[in-house]
Amino acid sequence: MSRFLSLLAASSMIAICNLHFLSRSLELPMEIGDLNNQMAEVGEMFRSSTRGSIWATSTSRSVSEVTKQADILRVKKRTFNILCTSTNPYIQFGSYKLRCLDFATWVGQCAGSSVNITTGIEVHEILTHPEIYRQYNFDATIITKSTPNKSRRYGLPSWLGKIYIDVVDNYKIRNWRIHENFTLIFQTERQKEMFPNHEYRVVEHWYNSYPADMERGDALPEFLPTISNRTEISLATIWSLKSFEGGCPDTDGIKDVSYECIVQDFEIEKWYEKVSRIPNSKVEVLNTMSDPKLGPGKLYYNLFRQYDALVALAKNNTHKLLYGNVQRIVSQMRSGVPVLVEVWGPVLQEFVDKYNYTCTFQREHPDLLYMTFQEAVEMMKDPKIRTQCQMEGLEIAKDFSPNQIGKKFLRAVGYDGKFHC
């Protein structure tokens, strides 16, 4: 779910949000109609800004801003200059916002003035105005999920630096369309099978949560759900249903277990109240969405933590099973809720085997040595097993923290300087 936790608005939008709610907080009493209106306004503020991004970012630049910045850069001490861009329509996608906008925010926090990263400008706009952008003399250009027109034959200008194509999950990109001098960035080692003729780096997706949690770096979450001693347990699968994804497994015949299959769109503020088990959820949504350190990601984590365990299903899509990422699973593990992982396809099999993860099951390929769903659910009734999988999941999530993946990303594109986190 590359857009699984679309989390936070741009910093200017946050300021507007805060002022809006400060003024509204003085209007008492609050009517339900007012509350509904405020929730709609907040949701629209988040959705109309950096949809799909984790943190607020101020690194996107207009053409005029780039010109001013280039003048400044010429007199500054040497920095490592990165352009993180894409083509239309991919520059509007959640993958770009996660891999460029949020990456830029992390860079500002952990590399400081040693790295300058430019985002938010479509690559063909840059190529159309070389008189503006060549002044930057980029060390590296990252192009997310796409390749520019004609770049296969002619390459790209030298002032863009070394070119990296961050393939993400765009399986329509073909080996022959990429210039031989471009380096590829994959989510998993297995993607090299699709591009046998190119140099590559592997940079996984970091987990998604919410700003207050992401800023904790490699530390555990500030709140960990308590594992109850009861053997009557509640499970849930929370996902966005697409045509290539399978349905939820059947729990018929399994006693003392409730299982909810929650299939909704990504904008959780629209439907959280309908599925939440907590009273006064409308107020919870309003307060959470108005807090720049929380936002939609915190609502997802609040929902996760209402269950004894989560069931993370595999996507029934050939390319994702062969070359996809484990972002959705790791994001759920980060919440501290035990996660029961469906093993299907080599990516998921290699993931659970690498970490020797306990809570797994299979519905396909019965030759693999994993439990059935019914067997795994029976196992999950044991509080000791749930505790074990909680701790295993949190340890796994550390390898996918913003600090770990952010450093890996910068090293992958040639930065050899210091970090401050």
pLDDT in tens, 70-109: 444 443 447 999 999 999 999 999 899 999 999 999 999 9
Q: What is the per-residue pLDDT for 11?
A: 35
Residue 125 shares a structural domain with residue 217: no
What is the distance between the alpha carbons of residues 149 and 58, in angstroms, rounded to a whole number?
28
Q: Could you report the per-residue pLDDT of 268-304, keeping only the tens digit for each? A: 999 999 999 888 899 999 999 999 999 999 999 999 9
149 versus 249: the higher-pLDDT residue is 249
Pairing of strands 309-312, 339-342: parallel
Mind giving me the DSSP string for 244-286?
TS--PPP-TT-TTEEEEEEE--S-GGGTHHHH--SSSHHHHHH
Tell whether 42 is covered by a domain: no
Residue type, 9: A
Kindly list the strands in the beta sheet with 360-361, ordered across the sheet, starting from the edge strand earlier in the chain.
Answer: 257-263, 233-239, 309-312, 339-342, 360-361
Host H or E run for residue 342: strand 339-342
Tell whether 217 is covered by a domain: yes
Q: Is 346 exposed, middle or buried (0-12, 13-18, 19+ CB in 10 A)?
A: middle
Tell whether 2 is covered by a domain: no
Mean pLDDT of the region 344-364: 93
Tell whether 1 is covered by a domain: no
Cα-Cα-Cα-Cα dihedral sign, residues 6, 10, 15, 19: negative
Mean pLDDT of the region 230-248: 79
Mean pLDDT of the chain: 83
Residue 201 shares a structural domain with residue 232: no
Residue type, 213: D
In angstroms, the Cα distances linking 132 to 66, 91, 120 are 7, 20, 15
Give me the domain span that covers residue 69.
Answer: 63-206+402-412
> In the structure, what pLDDT confidence band is assigned to residue 352 with cuts at 50, 70 and 90?
very high
Kindly list the strands in the beta sheet with 115-118, ordered across the sheet, starting from the edge strand earlier in the chain.
Answer: 115-118, 80-85, 140-144, 162-166, 183-186, 200-202
Residue 290 shares a structural domain with residue 189: no
pTM assigned to the model: 0.81
What is the distance between the alpha carbons of residues 98 and 166, in angstroms, rounded to a whole number?
12
Q: What are the residues whose beta carbons fall under 8 Å from the beta carbon of 11, sequence distance 6 or more?
A: 56, 57, 58
Residue 354 shares a structural domain with residue 244: yes
Number of structural domains the chain divides into: 2
Residue 154 shares a structural domain with residue 189: yes
What CATH number does the domain containing 175 carry?
A: 3.40.50
Spatial contact of 66 and 118, defined as CB atoms under 8 Å apart: yes
Mean pLDDT of the region 312-330: 88
Detail the DSSP E strand segments found in 61-214. 80-85, 115-118, 140-144, 162-166, 183-186, 200-202
341 HSE (CA, 13 A, CB side): 30
Taking 50 as the threshold, does the pLDDT of residue 14 lie above it? no
Tell whether 297 is covered by a domain: yes
Residue 84 shares a structural domain with residue 200: yes
CB atoms within 10 A of CB 276: 18
> In the structure, what pLDDT confidence band is assigned to residue 198 with cuts at 50, 70 and 90?
very high
Taking 50 as the threshold, does the pLDDT of residue 140 lie above it? yes
CA angle, 209 then 418 then 82, to 5°: 70
Q: What is the per-residue pLDDT for 69?
A: 53
Residue 246 shares a structural domain with residue 357: yes
Residue 170 shares a structural domain with residue 78: yes
Mean pLDDT of the region 5-13: 37
Q: At 166, is the secondary structure helix, strand, or coil?
A: strand
Q: Is 166 exposed, middle or buried (0-12, 13-18, 19+ CB in 10 A)?
A: buried
Q: What is the per-residue pLDDT for 349?
A: 93
> In the structure, what pLDDT confidence band is assigned to residue 348 with cuts at 50, 70 and 90?
very high
Tell whether 293 is covered by a domain: yes
Residue 257 shares a structural domain with residue 242: yes
Residue 394 shares a structural domain with residue 406: no
Which of 20, 30, 93, 87 minimizes the C-alpha distance to 283? 30
Q: What percent of the chain has pLDDT over 70?
A: 78
Spatial contact of 145 and 170, defined as CB atoms under 8 Å apart: yes
Residue 174 shares a structural domain with residue 319: no
Which of 119, 111, 125 minimizes the C-alpha distance to 138? 119
Q: At 340, is the secondary structure helix, strand, or coil?
A: strand
Tell whether 55 is covered by a domain: no
What is the distance between the alpha carbons of residues 93 and 274, in angstroms, rounded to a whole number?
27
Tell whether 155 is covered by a domain: yes
Residue 276 shares a structural domain with residue 130: no
410 versus 112: the higher-pLDDT residue is 410
Q: What percent of the chain has pLDDT over 90?
A: 60
Question: How is residue 214 written in tokens?
Answer: 């992401």
